[in-house]
Structure 1
Amino acid sequence: MIIRRLEDKIKQTLQRIPSVALMGPRQIGKTTLALNISEGIPSVYLDLENSLDLERVADINTFHEQNSDKLIILDEVQRKPEMFTSLRGIIDTERRKGKKSGHFLFLGSASIDLLQQSSESLAGRIAYIELNGIDALEYSGALNTLWLRGGFPESLLSSNDKNSLDWRRDFIRTYLERDIPQLGPRIPAHSLERFWTMLAHSQGGVVNSSQLARSLEVSATTVNRYLDLMVDLLLVRRLQPWTFNIGKRLVRSPKIYIRDSGITHALLNIVAYNDLLSHPVVGGSWEGFVIENLLSVLPANALPYYYGTPGGAEIDLVLEFSGNEKWAIEIKRSSSPALSKGFHIACDDIKADRRFVVYAGDHRFTMRENIVAIPIQELMQELLNRH
């Protein structure tokens, strides 16, 4: 079993906050992580997709009275959003008794933004934490295996590439045929699968709703609805452009990434590493893989963007920290990275404080103009050190 970095953070947060919401897509490892935590403290676990467990919390006040001495873990909490109204009173009552922390651990498969809309009544009483896939610091195996198979534990730890791909195909099918109809609006599975596959083909591209709409023979509004749903379910990332006024025309549409590289490859029927290296998506796939790994360790005081101009000045990832400190990060699959003139111009445009190129090599070295070529794991560690 792979130890997840967030386990200690969740434990520490539960020691100071009444409730924690752990969010992430299905099968990412939330339940395993929660059950690991429950082994160290008195706990009760309920899965709200189980009809019996759902009935047990129909009266959450009574259930809490019977288990007030335990951490109550509620899985798939988005299935019963109305519960949050009652939880505020429960938490405040416990606070008055002197029990100020560690009451509830919620697990959910929708985005933090979506859950916050349901749990506004718990403001000041809840912390939100997102669980990403297994990343390059958590996985001790070959980085290329992690890139090919993605960060879902069952996929990554499969006995061979074929079994891994079969798991991911089943995951996609289950999401399309069961999970999305439960969690979102009724959308034909074949339409959403075509849309998902189109996003995979253009991994890391600037979204063009009109072009996607023509290909799918639907309206641009429908395409945006599909995209919003995939973002809410934590399957797709919408990376916003850095658009602060610098006196230049800028690209202002977001870039779109399927968040798990293994899902990208399954949608494109990429079975093995050599297949990936010869596929047109290889560059976009590596870029998305690196971005997801870096954002998995992003400090709370930093925001991610990309930067681009119609003239070709571009930065794959801009990290803006509090105090207006900016890091410019270029992503190259080559083991001998070469940077374009557009990257240098873009760094000057945004006045980048630090400049990096994440590449496929194993050693850190300094290029001209103080640009640091760095392996992905080392840059992730630098970000962790800023926490």
Structure 2
Amino acid sequence: MFTRNLLPQLAEELQHSSAVALLGPRQSGKTTLALEAAKAIPSIYLDLESERDRAKLAQPELYLADHLDKLVILDEVHRTPALFPVLRGLIDQARRNGRRVGNYLLLGSAALDMLQQSGETLAGRIAYLELGPLNLLETGPTQRDTLWLRGGFPESLTAPSDTRSLRWWQNFIRSYLERDIPQFGPRIAADTLRRFWTMLAHHQSGMLNVTQLARNIGVDVKTAQSYVDLLCDLLLVRRLPPWHANIGKRLVKTPKVYVRDSGLLHALLDIETKETLLSHMVLGASWEGFCIENLLQCAPANVQGYFYRTSGGAEIDLLLVWPGGDIWAIEIKRSLTPKVERGFHAACDDLLPVRKLVVYPGQETFPLGHDIIATPLFDLCRELAEQPNPPQ
């Protein structure tokens, strides 16, 4: 059993918000976290993928009105979009009566439907939280290599062997392609989308070239863009945006693309063991994506992530930009003796970051010169998690 770092924030939101949407990929642990948060308060749980539970909501106003004194957890709520106006009415009625009842926790496997539906009907009444797969702070540093290989989805991470973990991922991918994705968008041939998804995995940490992807898969650019959008909305792929600033440089303006979970990345590439990973051409890109996902998960929600690249070769793998404007420049190296290239120094001269860091797979923190610090991934994740506010 893992303790999720999001638990205190979820508990706080449930105390102050009439409705909370907890978004994350299927099987990332949303239900477990919701039930953990509900232990201390009267609650009921409805799985809207269950016909039995959906039948209880045949007349939702009557059913939910009988449970105004409880936290109502609605799992896979995108399956019943007609509920959103009902929830709005119950929340508004409670407000008019001067009571803060009708507390709802909505669980969804995608960002797009939940944001569209709840945004239209529950504006000003709902808080949003995103739960990703397990991160390094939640598993502990001794699990780093297993977490990197298998990914952070609990059933994959805790599988009895690497073979069983890969088998779980194969079933996960098939389920998404054949059952889940058709719920959220136009009908897409499973084989076509799987080939597209695998191409993204081969292109891990590369610049997103939708035109080239469309050409390789034999579809038009608009269709290929819709595939990328869908996988991003399902919280399975990340477009890391480039940093833009008026600094008199020619900046790269195309986002980089990552399969967000390293276990999913490896499953798409049929990588089963660490030995196979270490000899695979995706090794460096996989480590980079793994570090970026962990750092963004552990950083405060008001911190934004970017990369930086100029046409002249200045480059930083990850910029963390704080609300006050401070920038942390982070380079990611898969070496126990990390060295910083000229491009990182040039980029730091452009941006003047307040912190210059190199994340590497070692165990010690040490200076590299020029105010650059080499730090283990776990230590930087912990430092970010301990900063609820922007650093001064």
Pairwise TM-score range, normalised by the shorter structure: over 0.9
How many residues align structurally? Answer: 386
In the alignment, structure 1 residue 384 sits paired with structure 2 residue 382: no
CA deviations 1:106-154 (Å, max 9, x no partner) are: 000111x542221123222111000011110110342111000000000
8 Å CA contact retained: 2:94, 2:102:
no
Instruction: Extract unaligned runs of 5+ from structure 2.
Output: none
Q: Distance in 2 between matches of 1:99 and 1:332?
A: 54
Q: CA deviation at 1:101?
A: 6.0
Q: CA RMSD in A?
A: 1.3
SS in 2 for 1:206: coil
Corresponding residue of 1:59? 59
Q: 1:244 to 1:188 in 2, by over 3 A?
A: same
CA deviations 1:43-62 (Å, max 9, x no partner) are: 11111112232232233221
In the alignment, structure 1 residue 256 sits paired with structure 2 residue 252: no
Corresponding residue of 1:327? 328
In the alignment, structure 1 residue 180 sits paired with structure 2 residue 181: yes
8 Å CA contact retained: 1:15, 1:102:
no
Q: Distance in 2 between matches of 1:54 and 1:249?
A: 55
Q: CA deviation at 1:248?
A: 1.0
SS in 2 for 1:296: helix
8 Å CA contact retained: 1:24, 1:109:
yes
1:21-170 equivalences in 2 (<5 Å):
21-100=21-100, 103-111=103-111, 114-120=113-119, 121-140=121-140, 141-170=142-171
SS in 2 for 1:129: strand
CA deviations 1:49-80 (Å, max 9, x no partner) are: 12232232233221111111111000011122
SS in 2 for 1:81: coil
The residue type paired with residue 33 of structure 2 is L
Q: Distance in 1 between matches of 2:387 and 2:38?
A: 29
CA deviations 1:217-237 (Å, max 9, x no partner) are: 111111101000000101001
8 Å CA contact retained: 1:16, 1:102:
no
8 Å CA contact retained: 1:246, 1:349:
yes
Corresponding residue of 1:240? 241
Q: Distance in 2 between matches of 1:362 and 1:96?
A: 57
Corresponding residue of 1:300? 301
Q: Distance in 2 between matches of 1:175 and 1:100?
A: 38
Q: CA deviation at 1:353?
A: 1.5
Percent of residue pairs bearing the same amino acid type: 54
8 Å CA contact retained: 1:17, 1:102:
no
CA deviations 1:258-287 (Å, max 9, x no partner) are: 000000001111110011011000010000
Which is further off, 50-59 or 204-213? 50-59
8 Å CA contact retained: 2:7, 2:37:
yes
Instruction: Extract unaligned runs of 5+ from structure 1.
Output: none
Q: Distance in 1 between matches of 2:284 and 2:267?
A: 16
1:331-370 equivalences in 2 (<5 Å):
331-370=332-371
8 Å CA contact retained: 2:314, 2:347:
yes
8 Å CA contact retained: 2:18, 2:101:
yes
Corresponding residue of 2:211? 210
Which is further off, 252-261 or 63-72? 63-72
SS in 1 for 2:146: helix
Q: CA deviation at 1:96?
A: 3.3
Q: Distance in 2 between matches of 1:295 and 1:102?
A: 33
The residue type paired with residue 249 of structure 1 is R
CA deviations 1:230-265 (Å, max 9, x no partner) are: 001010011100012211111101100000000000
In the alignment, structure 1 residue 374 sits paired with structure 2 residue 353: no
What TM-score comes out, normalization by structure 2 length?
Answer: 0.96
The residue type paired with residue 10 of structure 1 is L
CA deviations 1:193-216 (Å, max 9, x no partner) are: 001100111101101111111110
SS in 1 for 2:187: coil
Q: Distance in 2 between matches of 1:59 and 1:302?
A: 42
Q: CA deviation at 1:296?
A: 0.7
8 Å CA contact retained: 1:82, 1:118:
no
Which is further off, 87-96 or 61-70? 87-96
8 Å CA contact retained: 1:155, 1:168:
yes
